[in-house]
Structure 1
Amino acid sequence: MDGFGDAVDGYFDVENQLSRYLLQRADDLRSKGRGRTAAVDSREDFEAHRERVRSTLRSRIGGVPERPDDLSVETTGRRRGDGYSVELLTFKSRPDFHVTANCYVPDGDGPHPGILFLCGHAEPPKSDPLNQKACIELALHGFVVLIIDPIGQGERKQYRDVEIEGTAVSGGGGTFPHSYAGQKCFYAGANLARYMINDDRCALDYLHSRDDVDDDRLGVAGTSGGGIQTLYLSLLDERIDVAVPCCSISHRYERLKTGGRTHAEQAITGSVAEGIDDADLVAAMAPRPVCIGAAASDRYFPIEGVHETIASVRRLYDIYDAGERVNLVVSDTGHCSVYELGDEVFEWLCERLGDTEYEPHDELPTLDEAELHCTSRGSVRDAYANERTIDDLIREYVTKTYPDAGTKPTVDSDCGYAERLRRTLTETFVADRESCELFPRFISRTESDGVRVERVWFKTERDPDIVCTGVLVTDPESAAESPAVVLYERGTDELPERSEDVASLAREHGAAFVFDPRGVGAVRNRNIPVPNWADHHDGMYGTEFKLANDALLLGSSLLEMRVFDVFRAGSFLRSETDAERVSFVGEGIGAYHALYAAGIARNVDRVTLRSLGPSFFELATRREAPFRPQLTAFDVVGDRDVPHVLAALDRREVRVEREIGERKTADR
């Protein structure tokens, strides 16, 4: 048995199908978002719009944690500079969860304006030479500057001892640990940003509490990931008087077009579907002053989107007669640090918050990383015996939000449980998609070892199109009373080496349909190149990761989309074989697709789950959980988790077989 040749044997070019689908969906949603923002023409309208943006962000990150009354600040050292000093300190943003920080303090009593400096994906973060220079420059102009290590970076590395399938999770300047922890947050209906924002607000609490800081003059600045944090913090904390987000502003659609990846803390689920873009986050500052720093050749944040966003922001600021408070600084360079953006950023901060005019310094000495360590061994995990990890915090959130998660549901006395769950799954996987007539195309018919083999393709969605493929294998000697949709991890690409298995399934079920949902097998998307610094991290930062996070932005997931396709494949198989009931056979990732499609479909006979992985509760709460971008989904550890679907199928008297290696068990 053979699979398909290129472009579905020449019938349809599917190389960019999934990318194109997501981009077209994003473009459609962009038009709706533009219309909603364009309708804002009064202060009353804007206040309602701003509150909608805030409430959406709070909801999609899982809420903003309560901050501790006592930060337990500990000053561990001091470094003396010319005209300033650097205090080395730690504080607790959660119980037994330490943040490491350097505070640059100008000479003199003050009170001084305060700046919270937020690092992006740099390693080391707070001691990066360019970040040091930015902090020193501001300190020499009379600012108290607090710079902190983000979760997973610097002295706050979380996964230095963890390897997932041979891939180190720590790395990528924080990108990989953020991706790994962020995936767990998604399962729990949250976002890693909730913990980063909490750290930032606690850092702002510390700045606000210092006697030498004027708490009426507080600003926040950062570049790249730090610029995104700057936006979030400015949106949610009105103590911020000015904001300087750098190399972090563009337009979401422009960013999607580049093929670049969206970091976990930046993938706010459904933000594109809600019509919330960078302009909405920036404009939420109105009428407080904001300076956007941009790089003309930024690889991640296209300059066209920068100018489009600035125009939209200024229009909204004009509602407050404050358009002049929106400043844009563009540097003729690529993605860069705050310091590299040049003197205009520092000059603007001095004008808006400072006490002196800006005069640049030519030579700014920096210190080695170890000299700026706040802990004796450069690690909070080594320094504090009871130090918790981000996994501990996520586990705590899961168990508090879903107290029954991880336990087998009790449904024996609940007659309506199975049908309610089927409706819930239908709303999740089917309701938002407009089914179309399949119009199957049979493009070859052959016989092999006594079975009939047919290659077929059809569309499960239209405008934008989704083409799916499959190989239908029928045993003329067997009645097709329970034909099976067969889902291998690599779909029809696993033929012909799986021919014997497929023939056996065809004889057992009467017919076996080896199926490729979107992005799998013969309809897999082309490889989308990763940045040159990440080319060896395919699973952590590869094509599936990119497409999965893009789907989240649209309020969907690859899991939802593929389960929908499998559901439609079941409909095709029943129609083609005139069978009343259908079965599903899934292996690995395909086992999840089989399980959830069976949970939706009516008239299901059997479900065979080969090497089904952990439940979503386990994926969210286990420290060394497998990283599967194909399973990226939002809020699935509650009553839609694997044990609940299994319980519902049992209630429906659907036979479920689970195979692990050579072992086979029947759930009923």
Structure 2
Amino acid sequence: MKSLLCLLLLPLSLHAGRFPEKTPDSPGARMLDGYMRQQTAEIEEAGGLKDIQTVEDWQRKAPEYRKQLAEMLGLEPMPERTPLQATKTGELKGDGYVIEKMHFQAVPGYYVTANLYLPDKVEKPLPTILYVCGHAVVEKDGVRLGNKTGYHHHGIWFARHGYACLIIDTVQLGEIRGEHHGTYSKGRWWWMSRGYTPAGLEAWASIRALDYLETRPEVDKTRFGVTGRSGGGAYSWWVAALDERIKAAAPTAGVTTMRNHVVDGCIEGHCDCMFYVNTYRWDYDRMVALVVPRPLLICNTDKDDIFPIDGVFNIYQNVRRIYSLLGQEKNIGLQIAEGPHKDLQPLNTGAFHWFECHLKGADPMAVLDEGAKKSLQPEVLKVFTELPKDEKNTTIDQTFVAKAAPPTPPANAESWDKQRQSWMQSLTEKVFAGWPQTSTAVPLTKDNSLENEGLQMTAYDFNPDSSFRLRLHLVHRAGLRAEDLELVALNVLDQDGWQDFQKTYGSKFASLFEGPRAEQSDEAALASEKKMFQAFKWGMAYVCPRGIGPTEWIGSVKAQTQRLRRFYLLGQTLDSMRVWDVRCAIQGLKQIPGMDKTPLWLQAHRDMAVHGVYASLYEDGITRLDLHDVPTSHEQSPTYLNVLKVLDVPQAIAMAASKTRVILYSADDAAWAYPNATAKNLQWSNKQWQIRKPVN
């Protein structure tokens, strides 16, 4: 027989220390570091509790905050409370307690495996603890036993001390393997576009667990408490904040500040279940405060690398102020134990004492008679003998948060205007809310200009925010002034486009290029460009959004992944901020003297083409879009928060085509059925919307 493998109570994604991976230094990396610090400071200023100064402030804001949290967890509106189909599969008796092995369905097909701990004699309804589990991997012979088995000692303690206690498995570490690591290591960036986080799934499982407990005669549904550690600490926050049936909470090692996560690198120690989709750009004290005024004990150790004590104490102090405003400071506590990120007895004792006082009314000076000790083999707590064939745990991320329903093409201009306005409002409020809140155009600064072989190139710089500096190159026939140009085409470059641009112009205008140089020159491409400029009074502008070309940041796959996840915590994505960069480049071009009335085209490939589409929705004066190799859905790329809850790429292109001429180069007409039908129904001209065969 194979030995029992129990990697208990260790977070699956725990990194080696608090600090982010060291990556090669570069201008782009320094800009990115400054940007993360600046954005964190913005959230600290506006996304926490500083605007709550009176009782009235809190009473007015708290319902709005609770609704926003539900939305950011994918729970607004709340899913339907479908039948739980609760099923008991076995029972185990111990010294003073009984354990029921059972499961329920939080949504049809999503099985939550659980153990219910009860005293062996129940004479009246009991105070009841919902225990939500952290990341404990428990397997035997390749069979999942569930992380509930790693925390069984908590359930036994509660049952032997007069409580009912339900310990529930998480989707990733239950008996049926789901997923928490979508963006952490699985490349499922569409989770962000979908507005999905497993944190919402765990919150919903916890809410449904309370629904189940209310059906049990042994349970006093007026005395619910919740606790759990690490991941379970986070889920304790979610359910306590959302569901006021929770009367006392003792989350353990489940929260810290945005600064710890983004600047200090703690995000690298956490999978996606720890984070809501931060649409409203919150810091974490705002979420914690939603437990106010109910009894709340914040538990942590002093040497926890992924929930550092400085951040935990900062949150405690900020939330304690709200308790004090409401005259309820007695209801908040802080339990700090010496040690690392582990399931330590002093932490457990603090939580036990808290519930004794706040769910039973025990004397605060009373001494607990014993701690929680492991006494069972994990396999005896297993719920299933055979996994259900209709389970959806393994694919629940694809359905839990619904995409926007495929829209019907508009029948007339009136219905189109209404639809378009609705989409624009949602894009502004839910997808691109992380953009800088400024109404002034970003200034463009001329760096230098050179002439060579009958061409003139001018380099301009602009700052789309206080941390990044981007460069825009403008090329045209030598001897022409900007006001002489009859057309300017803005080329939005990805990394491949930047390499091609360097190969074409880099050898002739090297001093105007920043960043690594291309190793080769493409003389044939340059000759073709020169021929075009000789024939037409055109200008070609080129820009790389942040993280590309001159501002590229490099490093391992892990380092690049964690950078993308930092944007997510800040209520942005790298892609959404690249749309902002394109907007700023458009604004900058129009500030060049003599170019405010010059027709402007925008052309781009791949993800940059989609960025150009969305930028065109917010910027006026774009005469034409040329779009090449366009992804057909945000399920592929690019990634913007919540966008699939609003629309998809074909609808965005239709919106763009209602403002400006759009030429899409594609061999797949079927993928663009929506803009095709919209153009037909609204009788757009053939010039306004065209699909052409790809250019070789």
Given the two structures, how large is their TM-score scaled by the length of structure 2?
Answer: 0.75
Pick aligned residue for 1:20 from 34, 55, 59: 34
What is the RMSD computed on CA atoms of the aligned residues? Answer: 4.0
Residues 156 and 587 (structure 1), Cα distance of their counterparts in 2 relative to 1, 3 Å cut: farther
1:220 aligns with 2:223: no
Q: Tell me if the contact between 1:271 and 1:277 (Cα under 8 Å) persists in the aligned partners.
A: no
1:433 matched to 2:438: yes
Task: Identify the residue that residue 65 of structure 2 maps to in structure 1.
Answer: 53
Alignment of 1:580 onto 2:592: no
CA distance in 1, matches of 2:184, 2:345: 24
Q: CA deviation at 1:300?
A: 2.5
Q: Is the 8 Å Cα contact of residues 435 and 460 (structure 1) preserved in structure 2?
A: no
Shift of 1:95: 2.4
Matched with 1:297 is 303
Q: Name whichever of 578-587 and 560-569 sits farther off.
A: 578-587
TM-score, structure 1 length as denominator? 0.78
On the 8 A contact 2:470/2:544 being kept in 1, the answer is yes
* Distance change in 2, residues 1:536/1:570 (3 Å): closer
- Cα displacement string for residues 151-196 of structure 1 (whole angstroms, at most 9, x for unaligned residues): 33322423xxxxxxxxxxx5xxx33378879854543456544433
Q: Determine if the alignment matches structure 1 residue 646 to structure 2 residue 656.
A: no
Would you say the 8 A contact 2:183–2:191 is kept in 1? no
Q: Does the 8 A contact of 2:475 with 2:541 survive in 1? A: yes
Matched, 1:612 2:630: yes
Which residue matches 1:364? 374
Instruction: Tell me: CA distance 1:122–1:499, structure 2 relative to 1, closer, same or farther (3 Å).
Output: farther
Residues 1:65 and 1:604: Cα distance change in structure 2 (over 3 Å): same
- CA shift in 2, pair 1:144/1:603, >3 Å: same
- Whether the aligned pair in 2 keeps the contact of 1:433 and 1:461 (CA below 8 Å) is no
Question: Structure 1 residues 142 and 456, CA, compared in 2 at 3 Å: closer, same or farther?
Answer: farther
- Whether 2:89 is the aligned partner of 1:87: answer no
Instruction: Summarize deviations over 1:420-467 as a string: whole Å, max 9, x none.
Output: 5997678858783354553334357474xx5748473512335x2421
Q: Matched residue of 2:399: which SS? A: helix
Distance 1:385 1:593, change over 3 A: closer
Q: Does 1:543 align with 2:571?
A: no
Determine the C-alpha separation between the residues in 2 that align with 1:386 and 1:282.
31
Aligned-residue offset at 1:654: 1.2
Deviation at 1:362, TM superposition (A): 7.5
Match of 1:566 in 2: 582
Alignment partner of 2:59: what SS?
Answer: helix
What is the CA distance between 1:284 and its match in structure 2? Answer: 2.8
User: 1:357-436 alignment to 2 at 5 Å?
Assistant: 358-361=368-371, 363-368=373-378, 370-377=379-386, 379=387, 382-384=388-390, 389-391=395-397, 393-394=399-400, 397-398=402-403, 402-405=404-407, 428=432, 432-436=437-441
Contact 1:126 1:147 in 2 (8 A): no
User: Which string of whole-angstrom CA distances, capped at 9 and with x for unpartnered residues, describes residues 512-543 of structure 1?
Assistant: 4442212222213465xxxxxxx86567x432
Distance in 2, Cα, partners of 1:322 & 1:133: 32
Q: For the structure 1 residues 372 and 514, does the alpha-carbon distance in structure 2 shift closer, same or farther, using more than 3 Å as the test?
A: farther
1:268-667 → structure 2 map (5 Å cutoff):
268-270=276-278, 273=281, 276-337=282-343, 341-353=347-359, 358-361=368-371, 363-368=373-378, 370-377=379-386, 379=387, 382-384=388-390, 389-391=395-397, 393-394=399-400, 397-398=402-403, 402-405=404-407, 428=432, 432-442=437-447, 445=450, 447=452, 452=455, 454=457, 456-462=459-465, 464-474=466-476, 481-489=487-495, 492=498, 495-496=502-503, 500=522, 503=526, 510-525=538-553, 527=555, 537=558, 541-547=561-567, 549-552=568-571, 556-573=572-589, 575=592, 578=595, 580-616=598-634, 619=635, 626=636, 631-639=639-647, 641-652=648-659, 654-659=661-666, 666-667=690-691
Moved more, 352-361 or 227-236: 352-361
Deviations for 1:186-216, whole angstroms, at most 9, x for unmatched residues?
Answer: 4345654443322111111222222222323
Q: Quickly say closer, same or farther: Cα 1:576–1:614, change in 2 above 3 A.
A: farther
Moved more, 109-118 or 433-442: 433-442
CA separation of 1:433 and 1:584: change in aligned 2, threshold 3 A: same
Which has the larger displacement, 607-616 or 337-346?
337-346
> C-alpha displacement at 1:244, in angstroms?
0.9
Amino acid at match of 2:575: L
Question: Could you say if the C-alpha distance between residues 551 and 521 of structure 1 is closer, same or farther in structure 2, counting changes exceeding 3 Å?
Answer: farther
Aligned pair in 2 of structure 1 residues 499, 29: CA closer, same or farther (>3 Å)?
Answer: same
Instruction: Determine whether 1:74 maps to 2:87.
Output: yes
Structure whose alpha-carbon radius of gyration is higher:
2
Q: In 1, Cα distance between the equivalents of 2:540 and 2:279?
A: 40
Give the whole-Å Cα distance in 2 for the aligned partners of 1:286 and 1:426.
Answer: 31
SS class of match (2:117): strand
Q: 253, 256, 278: which is aligned to 1:250?
A: 256
**Letter matched to residue 615 of structure 1:** S
What SS is found at the alignment partner of 1:249?
A: coil
1:570 shift after superposition: 3.1
SS at match of 2:543: strand
Residue 614 of structure 1 aligns to a residue whose secondary structure is coil
Distance 1:215 1:600, change over 3 A: closer
* 1:179-194 matches, cutoff 5 A: 184=190, 186-188=192-194, 191-194=197-200
Q: How far apart are residue 55 of structure 1 and its match?
A: 2.4
Change in Cα spacing, 1:39 to 1:119, as seen in structure 2 (3 Å) is same
SS of aligned partner of 1:280: helix
In structure 2, the residue matched to 1:154 is: 174
Quick check: 1:99–1:149 contact (8 Å CA) kept in 2? yes
Q: Structure 1 residue 136 and structure 2 residue 183: aligned?
A: no
Post-superposition CA distance 1:120-148 (Å, at most 9, x none): 34434943664223333333333322122
Secondary structure at 1:50 match in 2: helix
Note the 1:29-40 alignment, pairs <5 A.
29-33=43-47, 36-40=50-54
Query: What is the CA–CA distance in structure 1 between the aligned matches of 2:391 and 2:61, rounded to whole Å?
Result: 46
State how far apart, in whole Å, the 2-side matches of 1:147 and 1:418 are: 46
Please give the per-residue CA displacement for 1:560-611, whole angstroms capped at 9, x wherever unaligned.
3211211232344464894822333323322221222334443434433333
- Give SS of 1:433's match: coil
Partner SS state of residue 466, structure 1:
coil
Contact 2:192 2:639 in 1 (8 A): no
Identity level (%): 22
CA deviations over 1:58-83 (Å, ceiling 9, x no partner):
34334152553631111112334333
* C-alpha distance in 1 between matches for 2:223 and 2:416: 61
| Cα deviation 1:291-326 (Å, max 9, x = unaligned) | 111121222323122222222322322344432221
Per-residue CA deviation, residues 260-299 of structure 1 (Å, 9 max, x unaligned), is 32754554455664xx543333333333221111121222
Asked if residue 105 in structure 1 is aligned to residue 118 in structure 2, the reply is yes
Find the aligned partners of 1:177 and 1:157 in 2 and give their Cα distance: 17
Counterpart secondary structure, 2:487: coil
- Alpha carbons of structure 1 residues 23 and 490: separation in structure 2 relative to 1, 3 Å: farther
Structure 1 pair 420–96 and aligned structure 2 pair: CA distance change class (3 A) = closer
User: How many residues of Structure 1 are paired with residues of Structure 2 in the alignment?
Assistant: 604
In the other structure, the counterpart of 2:128 is 114
CA distance in 2, matches of 1:604, 1:315: 51
SS at match of 2:246: coil
CA contact (8 A) 1:451 1:473 kept: no
Paired with 1:230 and 1:593, the residues of 2 have a C-alpha distance of: 38
Q: Give secondary structure in 2 for the equivalent of 1:79.
A: strand
